[in-house]
């Protein structure tokens, strides 16, 4: 590997899920960034097909599997189960076969050094169960950067995890050993990354931050506006209730989170977008 750091070769697999609404062009760009443009290649791409998908997607995946220089392993779910169930199935398949599992989404773009940087970091930090890089957020064109989610490097991620998700999920790398005693949450709630992080922390592992932008994340105002309204607020309350029941967060922390977040969910969309841009995504 580069950077004049001696790291023994380690095996790794990328875990990605797709469903019927995914865009072929975006999927192509995401896969190409992982298969053809990395300074260090993964050993396998595990692609979870979450329910029935379009004929266009089916044809593209079939052709990609034939042509790719890396094995593309397909796992099909008979019906759409949602991201967390798809990830759970993928993790269960990979965690006893590969030392590291690299998360990726079907519409994001990994920077060329992403896998190399993450493998080096994990090999040098054996107490870290999950690590993620910093993320740039783009809207439409990859060059149209509209924000970023940079995790802090000057505080304990265990403390940070009491108020916010301590990883950038689609830019994360998971140590399989850290998942042997930790189940991936199977939920329709949109907080599986936070939930998983809290379980890994409770099991005695650390959360790490690689202080480099390693991923371009497809986002924008539309993504932020999905975090608005009564439905999202209800999902948030259910999430905090369940992690409290599981002993992952204290009652006081849950109460503080809900007081702040319930207010945010009912703010006007433009105000919420400004808060995310300047407070959350910065």
Domain ranges within the chain, ordered by starting residue: 12-219, 221-282
DSSP alpha helices (H): ranges in 49-191? 55-67, 83-94, 114-124, 157-160
- Residue-wise pLDDT tens digits, 105-114: 999 999 999 9
Residues in the chain predicted with pLDDT less than 50, given as ranges, are 1-6, 281-282
Model pLDDT, residue 140? 84
- Identify the H or E element spanning 147: strand 145-149
CA angle 214, 115, 29 (to 5 degrees): 65
CB-facing half-sphere around the CA of 235: CA atoms within 13 A: 14
The pair of structure tokens assigned to 78 is 């008979």
Nearest CA to 115 among 230, 231, 249, 15?
Answer: 15
Model pLDDT, residue 262? 86
Model pLDDT, residue 221? 60
CATH 3.90.550.10 fits 12-219, yes or no: yes
Model pLDDT, residue 226? 67
Model pLDDT, residue 86? 96
Model pLDDT, residue 279? 56
């Amino acid at each position: 590997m580069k950077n004049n750091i001696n790291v023994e070769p380690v095996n790794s697999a990328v875990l990605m899920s797709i469903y019927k609404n995914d865009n072929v062009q975006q999927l192509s760009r995401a896969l190409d960034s992982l298969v053809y443009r990395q300074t260090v290649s993964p050993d396998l791409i595990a692609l979870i097909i979450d329910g029935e998908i379009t004929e266009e997607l089916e044809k593209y995946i079939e052709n990609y599997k034939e042509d790719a220089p890396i094995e593309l392993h397909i796992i099909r779910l008979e019906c759409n189960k949602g991201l967390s169930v798809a990830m759970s199935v993928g993790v269960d398949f990979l965690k006893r076969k590969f030392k590291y599992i690299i998360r990726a989404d079907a519409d994001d773009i990994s920077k060329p050094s992403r896998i190399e940087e993450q493998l080096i970091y994990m090999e040098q930090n054996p107490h870290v169960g999950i690590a993620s890089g910093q993320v740039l957020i783009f809207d439409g064109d990859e060059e149209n950067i509209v924000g970023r989610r940079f995790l802090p490097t000057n505080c304990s991620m265990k403390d940070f995890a009491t108020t916010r998700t301590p990883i950038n999920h689609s830019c994360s790398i998971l140590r399989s050993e850290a998942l042997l005693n930790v189940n991936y949450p199977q939920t329709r709630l949109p907080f599986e990354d936070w939930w998983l992080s809290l379980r890994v922390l409770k099991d005695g592992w650390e959360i790490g931050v690689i202080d480099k932008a390693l991923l371009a994340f497809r986002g924008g105002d539309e993504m932020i506006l999905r975090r608005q309204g009564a439905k999202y607020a209800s999902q948030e309350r259910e999430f905090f209730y369940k992690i409290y029941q599981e002993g992952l967060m204290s009652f006081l922390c849950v109460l503080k989170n809900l007081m702040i977040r319930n207010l945010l969910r009912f703010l006007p969309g433009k105000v919420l977008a400004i808060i995310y841009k300047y407070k959350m995504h910065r």
